[in-house]
Amino acid sequence: MDTDTDPHRSGTQAAFRSGFVAIIGAPNVGKSTLLNQLLGEKVAITTPKPQTTRRQIRGILTGNNFQIVFVDTPGIHDPKRPLNRILVHWATQAVKDVDAILFVVDVTCRRRGQEFAILDLLRKIRRPVILILNKIDRVAKETLLPLINELKDAYPFEAIIPVSARYGSGTDYVLDEILRMLPEGPQFYDGTIITDQSRENLAAEFIREKIFLFAHQEIPYSTAVEVEDFKDDPGRHIIRIMAVIYVERPSQKGIIIGKGGHFLKKIGVLVRQELESLWGRKVYLDIRVKVLKEWSKNKQALRRLGLM
């Protein structure tokens, strides 16, 4: 990404400005898609299914005299399962330690109960909030005005910006508003870094993304991915990854493997191609499937998988 030629990424302030910006909202409103679009790189997985994001993901955008550290969060909802309660806790905790918040609303869905509950949380936090009205490419323009009026009466937003995160429409205005609000501060990360995720975590997330994209019903929510071994061999220009997909029941193991191993092979090919494109190296990927009974309800298993 060339930050010297893009005015939004080069910054306009004389003093160096920096800060942390949380991206929050209900499940499946496009938070991770917005993060990837703002960075110009894919650091967060995205799928059409709700509750895809399970971890706080930091994306780092650095310009000539600014650095924005975006914190992508799991969707805030009314949790029923132990795992979901943990995810919502992470999301609500994230907003307490930031300089500003992007509150993302899906304009194609009417779920004011969830949105107003999040606004109640924001009133307690007292951080500057920009309202992002996402997926405007899927609705008529005349439907936006009543929604804008309803939400602006409910909360004193710093700005209200309609966007299409999928196509990048309006995202430059989001950066303009963030830069206007950022305080003067230090550079937190090396300017060449776009995420604080390890390569092991990225590989695990890309595998999980493909499960969410191609598996059905409860299967994606019953799976977790762990990279057991990661070896970078610069001499041979290859990265070797051994990963495990955990499922909760033996019947799910058969589904993930697929007839003749077809489903697992499909996931492996797609992930390997994506990682090779990202890292510019050949990737050898060995994926296995194991049963970890009721892992999503077991605190010890959740802790082992880094979800607590």
What pLDDT digit, counting tens, does each position of 178-199 carry? 999 999 999 999 999 999 999 9
Q: Is 14 exposed, middle or buried (0-12, 13-18, 19+ CB in 10 A)?
A: exposed
**% of the chain at pLDDT higher than 70:** 90
pLDDT at 5 over 70: no
Walk me through the domains of the chain, giving residue ranges and CATH numbers.
7-181 (3.40.50.300), 199-304 (3.30.300.20)
With tokens 């709700």, the residue in question is 50
DSSP-H helix ranges across 228-285: 250-257, 262-279
DSSP codes, 1-50? --TTT-HHHH-S-SS-EEEEEEEEESTTSSHHHHHHHHHTS--S---SST
Q: Measured between alpha carbons, how far is 232 from 176 in angstroms, rounded to an integer?
A: 39
What pLDDT digit, counting tens, does each position of 135-190 carry? 999 998 888 999 999 999 999 999 999 999 999 999 999 999 999 999 999 999 99
Helix or strand or coil: residue 210?
A: helix
* pLDDT value at residue 90: 64
Q: Measured between alpha carbons, how far is 94 from 21 in angstroms, rounded to an integer?
A: 9
Residue type, 257: I
Residue type, 238: I
What pLDDT digit, counting tens, does each position of 96-138 carry? 889 999 999 999 987 778 888 888 888 888 899 999 999 999 9
* pLDDT value at residue 11: 45
As a whole number, mean pLDDT of residues 265-281 equals 95
* pLDDT level of residue 79 (50, 70, 90 thresholds): low
* pLDDT level of residue 252 (50, 70, 90 thresholds): very high
**% of the chain at pLDDT higher than 90:** 65
